[in-house]
Structures are given as C-alpha cells and as structure tokens.
C-alpha cells in the first residue's frame, strides 16, 4: 500500500507540473491565469481537456498540436515528469524514510510502511510539496528571464504563513514539554514541520503549538529570508559597484522563510553558495563570464538545509548561535564585514565595472 501511495504522489506531482507549466507560460507575461483558457502558443486555438492530460496527451499527440500541427515544446513534459519525480522523492524521503527525523513519524513507522499514512504526515508532505512547487516555478522563471515575478513569491509567502499558522511548532509532535533544568546551551529541540520555534526559551505569550507561535514563526522566517538577501545585495553592491543579487532572490527567500522558519532559511543562504559555485563553474566553461541566475541555487539550498537539519540541529554551537542575541549579532556583523571586504578585493583584482568607468 505504501508504494501505491508513492505512485499517487507521482501522479499528483505530474498534475502539479502541468499547473507549473501553465503559470510559467502566463505569469512572467502578466497574463491572467483564469481567462482565456489553455491555448496553443502557435495557433492560439483552445486546447480541449482530453488534449491537456499531463504527459499522456504529449505522447498520444506525438508532441504536436492537434489543430495546427505545430510542435509542442519538450519543456512541458520534462517539467511534468520532473515534478512527478520530485513529489515521489519527497514522499519517499520524508514520509517513508523520515529524513526529517520527526518523532511522530518514527513512532508510526510500521503503520506507514503498511500504507496507513496519518493525516499529520500528509500535512508535512503537502506543505513541503507546495514549497518545492513554488521553488521549481521561481527557478524556471529565473533561468528563462533572469527575473522572479513578485506575484509568485507573494502568493507563496501567504500560503507559507497559512501553513505556519495551521501547523505551529512542534507539530506534529505536540506533546513536548520544556525541560525544567536551566542550561547555558539550549536543549535539543524536537523536530516538527518547522524545525525550531521562533526563539528559546519561548515567552509566555507564545506557547508551543499555539496559532500565535505559528504565525510569528512564519513571519520571522519571511522577514529573515528577505533581509539577509537584501543585506548581501546591499553590502556586495556597495563594495563591488555592481549588483550581485536581484530583488527577486530576496523575494524567493522571503517565501521560503515563511515555509521553514527563520533559522533554516538563514543557514540555507550559506548552503546555497555550494550549488551556486557549481552552477557558476559550469556556466563559465560553457558561456564565459555571463550573469548567473541564483534562484535555482537558492532553491536547492533550501531543500538541502531542510533535509540536513536533523544533523545540523544536534550541534550545541548552532543552537547557541541562533538563540543567543550576542552570538547572532556577531555572526551578522562579521558576515557583513566579510562581504564588504570580499567585494572590495574583487573590485581591486577585476577592476572597476564598465558602468562606472
């Protein structure tokens, strides 16, 4: 039964991929999603419902429009297949293998393996599947046009805030109680849909599992994701003399922060440097020194941080940094100085940008 649910997750992902294609085709051009209905991009004739079945219609039509015979871009079935595999991978990893190390899922491992998926597990999968869909859509837009439309990230942020309010930490493990002993280093916190709460120790007006805590966690994540990227953009741009990041990158991390909370989204900004470096080397070898869309690297950084958090959260040093104002302020200040010096060094080595010459 578990593998039947896995197939269902794949089918759901393929359908989501069709929606992503539809939004990708319309939103960057500021077209309505509701009118007119799906049409061929060549002859502009309406596409009937039986010619719009994800993956299957492309195969049956042999990749051509039924009306004009024009070739349907291969990108459409690729995105649908990729999204289906993404959903199936999320379901298998997070629900089947419990890579997030959620105690609630661990206690129900046997039932889940038999195909009895509890509602809380569907909530975890659904929230991250929606996040992955938005990250994929924004990455496609960034790759295609070096721009991330604000309506996409704003809609994703609102959905993320709704998820944070409906499923506040430590959901789905709602039986956690804070330890009675007081320690300088914050204790290991149970993982939930949101890895950590807004702060530790929580103030009296933000109780674990409360809607207020959930909304505060989502708002803090959205604000942190946006501010960190804008700080990087401002600091690097001031020292280097050119823009290193677009505003859309900050909007993307604002959206991601609403889904994961402020601690993971801050760390994911640094994790994203690794896939960003890999993508940069590949583009340098293929096209030379050209602008690189950073949205896909940020999207991968968010997913990587989300899955690595069970290991990262066990480190006392990380908890101390994120829950101590002095340490946190030192990291922010030191990082800003490092970016400023790095930009000045690059400006010295590579010279003044042409726009300023």
Q: Give me the residue label for tokens 């994203």.
A: 272
b/e code 147-184 from CB counts within 10 Å (16+ = b)? ebbeebbeebbebbbbbbbebbbbbbbeeeeeeeeeee
Residues 44 and 161 in one domain: no
Angle at alpha carbon of residue 145, lines to 76 and 256, rounded to 5°: 80
Mean pLDDT value across residues 258-286: 89
Confidence band, pLDDT 50/70/90 cuts, at residue 86: very high
Residues 228 and 323 in one domain: yes
Q: Measured between alpha carbons, how far is 348 from 336 in angstroms, rounded to an integer?
A: 18
Higher-pLDDT residue of 240, 142? 142
- Whole-model pTM: value is 0.91
Number of domains in the chain: 2
Residues 219 and 327 in one domain: yes
Residues 236 and 157 in one domain: yes
Q: Of 56, 81, 106, which marks where a domain is finished?
A: 81
Higher-pLDDT residue of 252, 291? 252
Task: Give per-residue pLDDT as tens, 198-207.
Answer: 998 888 889 8
Residues 35 and 161 in one domain: no
- Check pLDDT > 50 for residue 31: yes
User: Whole domain around residue 164: which residue ranges?
Assistant: 152-172+191-357
Residues 343 and 222 in one domain: yes
Is 266 within the bounds of a domain? Answer: yes
Mean pLDDT value across residues 134-153: 93
Q: Measured between alpha carbons, how far is 270 from 134 in angstroms, rounded to an integer?
A: 20
Is 42 within the bounds of a domain? Answer: yes
The pLDDT of residue 131: 98
- Check pLDDT > 80 for residue 133: yes
- Check pLDDT > 80 for residue 290: no
Higher-pLDDT residue of 281, 86? 86
Q: Measured between alpha carbons, how far is 273 from 248 in angstroms, rounded to an integer?
A: 17
Mean pLDDT value across residues 114-137: 96
- Check pLDDT > 60 for residue 170: yes
Higher-pLDDT residue of 323, 253? 253
The pLDDT of residue 67: 85
Is 70 within the bounds of a domain? Answer: yes
Is 121 within the bounds of a domain? Answer: no
Q: Where are the beta strands (DSSP E) in the chain?
A: none
Q: Mean pLDDT over all residues of the chain?
A: 87
The pLDDT of residue 95: 96
The pLDDT of residue 356: 42
Instruction: Take residue 59 and report the two structure tokens written for it.
Output: 């195969």
The pLDDT of residue 27: 83
Confidence band, pLDDT 50/70/90 cuts, at residue 85: very high
Residues 77 and 165 in one domain: no
């Amino acid at each position: 039964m578990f593998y039947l649910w896995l197939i269902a997750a794949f089918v759901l992902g393929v359908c989501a991929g069709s929606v992503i294609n539809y939004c990708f085709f319309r939103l960057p051009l500021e077209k309505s999603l509701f009118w007119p209905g799906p049409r061929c991009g060549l002859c502009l004739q309406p596409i009937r419902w039986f010619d719009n079945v994800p993956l299957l219609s492309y195969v049956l039509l042999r990749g051509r429009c039924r009306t004009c015979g024009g070739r349907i871009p291969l990108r459409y079935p690729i995105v649908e297949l990729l999204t289906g595999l993404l959903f199936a991978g999320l379901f298998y990893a997070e629900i089947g293998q419990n890579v997030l190390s959620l105690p609630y899922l661990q206690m129900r491992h046997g039932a889940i393996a038999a195909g009895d998926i509890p509602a809380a597990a569907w909530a975890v999968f659904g929230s991250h599947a929606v996040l992955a869909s938005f990250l994929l859509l924004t990455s496609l837009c960034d790759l295609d046009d070096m721009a991330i439309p604000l309506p996409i990230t704003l809609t994703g942020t609102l959905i993320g805030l709704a998820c944070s309010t409906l499923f506040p930490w430590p959901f789905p493990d709602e039986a956690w109680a804070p330890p009675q002993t007081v320690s300088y280093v914050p204790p290991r916190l149970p993982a939930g849909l949101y890895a950590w709460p807004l702060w530790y120790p929580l103030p009296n007006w933000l109780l674990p599992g409360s809607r207020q805590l959930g909304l505060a966690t989502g708002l803090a994540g959205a604000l942190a994701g946006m501010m960190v990227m804008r700080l990087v953009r401002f600091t690097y741009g001031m020292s280097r003399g050119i823009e290193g990041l677009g505003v859309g990158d900050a909007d993307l991390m604002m959206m991601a922060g609403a889904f994961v909370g402020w601690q993971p989204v801050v760390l994911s900004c640094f994790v994203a440097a690794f896939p960003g470096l890999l993508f940069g080397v590949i583009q340098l070898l293929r096209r030379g020194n050209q602008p690189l869309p950073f949205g896909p690297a940020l999207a991968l950084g968010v997913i990587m941080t989300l899955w690595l958090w069970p290991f990262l959260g066990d480190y006392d040093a990380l908890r101390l940094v994120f829950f101590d104002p002095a340490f946190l302020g030192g990291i922010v200040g030191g990082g800003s100085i490092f970016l400023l010096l790095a930009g000045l060094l690059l400006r010295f080595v590579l010279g003044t940008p042409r726009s300023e010459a």
